[in-house]
Structure 1
């Protein structure tokens, strides 16, 4: 069926609402990963943390996320995407409360790991679920709602952190304020849990389970009966050619798909975005800004992240994935080189560092922020999409852990300039890898993309 007919019959309102509900999982992701940025300075004083323990307090969440991502794929292939997202919401809520009440750093770490498991599950399954339910024409922008929600969560917690920090004096911030920063996360966790009860299961997963009648009813509600019948046949044909074994990922073109997913996931993190998001106030303090000014500058970072994520949603299905990745990685490299140079020369008193940190964040928000999650969600075969996506997600969270754990140690060891230059080198590698290996998937159905990789066998 031609695109204009399909577009005219697509129930975009319904599929958008379903995607927005799922994307609340991304909001939890953004909230929980960035909340530490406002709390860590107070926690350092509360628990007398050195640079290694500071890194551990920040990065322990990623240990949980690695565990959650590692199990999410296989469990969602067995029990369904929706049930596992409900579990993620429960774990996040438990982690939020647990992180707010510890009396020792060990108790805090346990709670953050529990919440991190929920984040790992949702980060793997939210983009996957949206990709499986969205029409090809709109898949890019709908999956990218997940990244928009992540950014909204990050921006919201920057405001929450600043508001909480200003609610009392320094002593109150150290004893109590940071606890409120974590504890308030229970609100979005409960909202996510309740709204998930209203959305349908993935039609592709349902068909894989032999529940084709239910699957076609969902597809009919999205695209109308005629298109739904064509799509269900396409899904069935695709499933016939799949083994359902992870060994399929190491055959022919699917090896390239796995390489693309895993390498892009790692590059998204080792280019330094979360070093900035988690430690932004501490970075700006190194330029001479006070606590209040550094928190204000961090809010500006969050606002730029939000604005340019919206720009990405507008461009992603028009310009395409690969072009945006190339432009973004080039600008990220330039920005990081300049920030490193500013720290190297000591020229940090003016707006130079802030301006180029903002340019880096804008470039990331247009490109590697949303597009990596999108590509991971759309390039793998249906029968093993959950497990294959989990492999890429584990790689992403492992890279995030390494960056988060080592960033404060690098700052105190080799210094700010070399640290940012290392991230710049990673951005250059990201540009070269995208240029030489990453394919364009704009406008292709999930089954078309699968056939593209399958063609490499011959």
Structure 2
């Protein structure tokens, strides 16, 4: 008997060669075929790790800017950076990521998921080089904008790529692996930032920080040549036989059967036919110029999926988390910590450790419950930080938060030092809670959308993430200056409380379901 990997699937052009088998599979179309139990095979882990390099790049370019902002000195435009300079340099990445997300969704539908990952890698390399060679604020903004396009594409397509390849039982865990890669990239960025800030040449160290981001992107460019396209995109492109071979590899040849693989492929084909039929009914024969948009917004279950996905992605940023990633070194400098880049590393390390914990809990506890359990601790951490800031006297005068302000005598007093420690602990509580839930669950957005609108819906939700990211990055320092840190952190706490209530009302549990089953939850309501 031939090995299962080499067994060809029955194509639609060869139906007359296997009538008995075709009859069996026809019967199987109306039954639920369980995916085999056990751990994901080596093939799927290698795919996840390879795709996760995009997450590593995402995290590195998010984290490295924190140390860069306090290390650049007067290297850009011959002057120290102001608060506005820092806000623009930081937020331009989010702005261009916002623009790239919906465009990359269209490209992923037309060309496939794999080419979009390759394109993002090339942009990561280009952006890193432009930043490293910058001698003005405008050039730095250009480099960060190119990186923003790369981050926007990668943040959308990588979770989608993994979700469409992963077995249902482990989909949450494997997508969380991508989030783990993001947090690992942030840890690496903070470690490199600390090394160059404390032990490197002050005039060139920051250039190495931003330039090193090109290395993992170049590595992924090489690895992606050996990565397959997702089965669902292949079926949609009319390449069902090739899709079956990929399904076979993801399950492992020792666990799979011909009947199971063919049933999975036919289930995808059936979903595509249903989506096309629904589109024709709502679109008068498919003549609508914006058929994908029309289907996403007019079909109730698709509209509900979009609302939930946008809610989660917007909340992930409006809770203020990335303000800590972008400006943690600035905050800890303001609080009088002697080595702010090293103190920032504790934030990134906390994020990484609790993301590892989420890796083991996400499929056991479930997406909905882990959010409902973790967000209240985020609120507590933010309110505790607001209390700490209200108990400390910050540097006053003409200095802004954009300047490197040394600790004053007031900052060195025991009460101020205790308040600074309280703020650090509260931030760690907040980051740990974020990493457990809100840091990874929104990236499982593709579970909610049917295949026909999955790419478009995920792209719009990711764009929502970057709109919120842009708002937070642009307004955080001005809010700290105009309204005080206490009010700023209290506002983030209020946003989290509102988000918890919305999740409790409309977000259903999708853990353990196939992608096709998960989309049915929203057919006749919110499915909670």
Q: Are 1:280 and 2:328 matched, yes or no?
A: yes
Q: How many Å separate the matches in 1 of 2:331 and 2:35?
A: 52
Deviations 1:350-402 (CA, angstroms, capped at 9, x unpaired)? 2211111101000000000011111x121111122111111001110110011
Q: 1:349 aligns with which of 417, 431, 438?
A: 417
Match of 1:38, SS state, is helix
1:271 touches 1:424 (CA, 8 Å); kept in 2?
Answer: yes
Q: How many Å separate the matches in 2 of 1:195 and 1:348?
A: 50
Structure with a larger share of its residues in helix: 1
Provide the residue aligned with 2:508 in structure 1.
Answer: 439
Deviations 1:178-198 (CA, angstroms, capped at 9, x unpaired)? 111101111111111111111
Provide structure 1 residue ranges, at least 5 long, that are not aligned to the other structure. Answer: none
2:35 touches 2:167 (CA, 8 Å); kept in 1?
Answer: no
Provide the residue aligned with 1:33 in structure 2.
Answer: 62
Match of 1:46, SS state, is coil
Q: How many Å separate the matches in 1 of 2:455 and 2:61?
A: 23
Q: 1:64 aligns with which of 96, 99, 110?
A: 96
Instruction: Give the C-alpha shift of residue 348 in structure 1.
Output: 4.6
Q: Are 1:98 and 2:167 matched, yes or no?
A: no
Q: How many Å separate the matches in 2 of 1:4 and 1:439?
A: 22
Provide the residue aligned with 1:140 in structure 2.
Answer: 172
1:81 touches 1:129 (CA, 8 Å); kept in 2?
Answer: yes
Provide structure 2 residue ranges, at least 5 long, that are not aligned to the other structure. Answer: 1-30, 280-290, 393-414
Q: 2:457 aligns with which of 383, 388, 398?
A: 388
Instruction: Give the C-alpha shift of residue 233 in structure 1.
Output: 1.6
Match of 1:439, SS state, is coil
TM-score w.r.t. the length of structure 2 is 0.83
Q: Are 1:320 and 2:366 matched, yes or no?
A: yes
1:44 touches 1:50 (CA, 8 Å); kept in 2?
Answer: no
Provide the residue aligned with 2:231 in structure 1.
Answer: 203
Q: Are 1:337 and 2:369 matched, yes or no?
A: no
Instruction: Give the C-alpha shift of residue 450 in structure 1.
Output: 1.9
TM-score w.r.t. the length of structure 1 is 0.95
Q: Runs of at least 4 residues of structure 1 off by over 4 A?
A: 1-5
1:40 touches 1:58 (CA, 8 Å); kept in 2?
Answer: no
Match of 2:60, SS state, is helix
Q: How many Å separate the matches in 2 of 1:360 and 1:5?
A: 37
Q: How many Å separate the matches in 2 of 1:348 and 1:261?
A: 41
Instruction: Give the C-alpha shift of residue 456 in structure 1.
Output: 4.3
Match of 2:300, SS state, is coil
Q: Are 1:234 and 2:267 matched, yes or no?
A: yes
Provide the residue aligned with 2:109 in structure 1.
Answer: 77
Provide the residue aligned with 2:433 in structure 1.
Answer: 363
1:72 touches 1:387 (CA, 8 Å); kept in 2?
Answer: no
Provide the residue aligned with 1:397 in structure 2.
Answer: 466
Instruction: Give the C-alpha shift of residue 246 in structure 1.
Output: 2.2
Task: Summarize the Cα distance change of 1:253–1:360 in structure 2 as closer, same or farther, 3 Å threshold.
Answer: same
Deviations 1:57-116 (CA, angstroms, capped at 9, x unpaired)? 111111221122121101100000001100000000110011110121111111111111
Which has the greater radius of gyration? 2
Q: How many Å separate the matches in 1 of 2:237 and 2:525?
A: 28
